[in-house]
Structure 1
Amino acid sequence: MFDAMRKYAARFRTSPRAEVPDGRERRPHNLFEAAAAYVAARTEDDQDGIDEASAWVSPEALSFGVSELASRAVAALARERNESPRTVARDLLGLPAS
């Protein structure tokens, strides 16, 4: 099990660096940058932005980043509204209060 996790994490460390047209290297996007760009593009219904952010990292990494972003957003809204995260999550999804 830990071997699989180690191999998965190694993919991020060994991903190729992107090059800028003038030949300089720049660091690749990380999964949180990809998730933020992806969610923002989805919110704005920007298909080009969705496609671009989706190409920055693997689908698994993007899924993890979006999940982490959702968790942090719900926690922040819950603190702001002084409500439970469960209440905020259900409200955001249009579900009745439990």
Structure 2
Amino acid sequence: MWGRFRKAGGRDSHGLRTEPKAGGDRRPHNLFEAAATYVTACAQDDQERSDEAAGWVSPEALSFGVNELACRAVIALARERDESPETVARALLGLPAA
């Protein structure tokens, strides 16, 4: 029974690994590096670079990293502007004030 759990857990956690592809001698990419590169590339309309960054980690890890980056960016802007995070987030998305 525990073997099944270990096997399932290993399968799930493997998708979050950031190991380089076979034959790669560089260090693995951090999910936050991937998120930062991906978001920057998207902002600069660099499809090739965003595709490259998306391949560094699993889609789930990239999603988590992008979410964390968004949260930190909104908090930093809110502090800088002396506004609430909700106000900043809505302004960035072009939404009316709540």
Tell me which interval the TM-score lies in, with the shorter structure as reference length: 0.7 to 0.9
**Residue aligning to 2:74:** 74
For the aligned residue pairs, the C-alpha RMSD in angstroms reads 2.2
More strand by share: 1
For the residue of structure 2 that corresponds to 1:56, the secondary structure is: coil
TM-score, L = length of structure 1: 0.80
CA distance in 2, matches of 1:36, 1:10: 22
Greater relative CO, 1 or 2 (CA 8 Å, sep 6+): 2
**Residue aligning to 1:27:** 27
1:55-70 counterparts in 2 under 5 A? 55-70=55-70
State the Cα distance separating 1:27 from its structure 2 match.
1.1
**Contact 2:20 / 2:28 at 8 angstroms: preserved in 1?**
yes
State the Cα distance separating 1:9 from its structure 2 match.
4.6
Structure 1 unaligned spans of 5+:
none
State the Cα distance separating 1:12 from its structure 2 match.
4.4
**Residue aligning to 1:54:** 54
Structure 2 unaligned spans of 5+:
none
Superposition misfits of 4+ residues, deviation over 6 angstroms: none
CA distance in 2, matches of 1:90, 1:43: 18
CA distance in 2, matches of 1:63, 1:16: 17
Which amino acid in 2 is paired with 1:63? S
Q: Number of aligned pairs?
A: 90
